[in-house]
Amino acid sequence: MRIALGVEYAGTHFCGWQFQPHAPSIQGCVEAALSKVAHHPVTVICAGRTDTGVHALAQVIHMDVTAQRSPRSWVLGANANLSKDISILWAQPVDEGFHARFSASARHYRYIILNRPTRPALLAKQVTWEHRPLNVEKMQVAANYLIGTHDFSSYRALACQAKNPIRTLSSLTVSRVDEQVIIEISANAFLHHMVRNIAGVLMTIGCGEQLPLWAKTVLESRNRTQGGVTAPASGLYLCGVDYPSPYIFPKQSIL
């Protein structure tokens, strides 16, 4: 039986989603918890592998199990064996054609910047702090250059292993809510560090170090060394994953 599950987590104390033998990972903790409920080893596949320190409001995973459990039992049983940094939100049987990663049609991320002169205390690991005033209007002008289908070589990590750098950004918006500047970005898929590199370029433009056209110049260079600083992981959240019919999963509230 194949089961899809929704996962929420704070990535601060983990080496990222993917299992690592030398450090705690989200995948390792989730597999250990679900294995206890199933009474046999469980391997899970995720929609998007998040990096060290990155959070998720609506990660989607799937697993193949022989154990018969109700959706409620999978959720409550797993959460009883997970730390408070990780929570299984829902579980739902799916057919064998479903794949958490390859069936996904779009992914949505949110990047949160606390834009004020003083550093955060309570939100230190949940947002990125920028003390310089950010011009949201200029950031949005820059963001508009990146919407559409492009070669995003300049916006991916040098160590990115993806064979094809072409991605389609369907939406990229920048807004301000009081002291927070929020970047919302949606695409069919993302390259390694792509969202954080885009955020880094937009922040550089927002604080006045570069003009909005620089975002386009970086894009067209197809050279990562032209792209500036990678923004910190602490402000990044995987907010949702879209799937085609008939895969309809619960929508999670967004910060």
Continuous segment of H or E residues that includes residue 111: strand 106-115
- Judge whether 51 counts as a catalytic residue: yes
Q: Write the CB contacts of 221 (distance below 8 Å, at least 6 apart in sequence).
A: 154
Which amino acid, 177? V
* Nearest C-alpha neighbor of 61 from the set 24, 20, 15, 19: 19
100 burial type by CB count under 10 A (0-12 exposed, 13-18 middle, 19+ buried):
buried
Q: Tell whether residue 243 is among the known ligand binding residues.
A: no
Tokens, residue 239: 């907010």
State yes or no: cis peptide before 246, omega within 30 of 0.
yes
Round to whole Å and give the CA distance between 30 and 237.
18
* From 51, 95, 151, 178, active-site residue: 51
Binding residues: 109
Q: Which residues are catalytic?
A: 51
Binding residues for substrate: 109
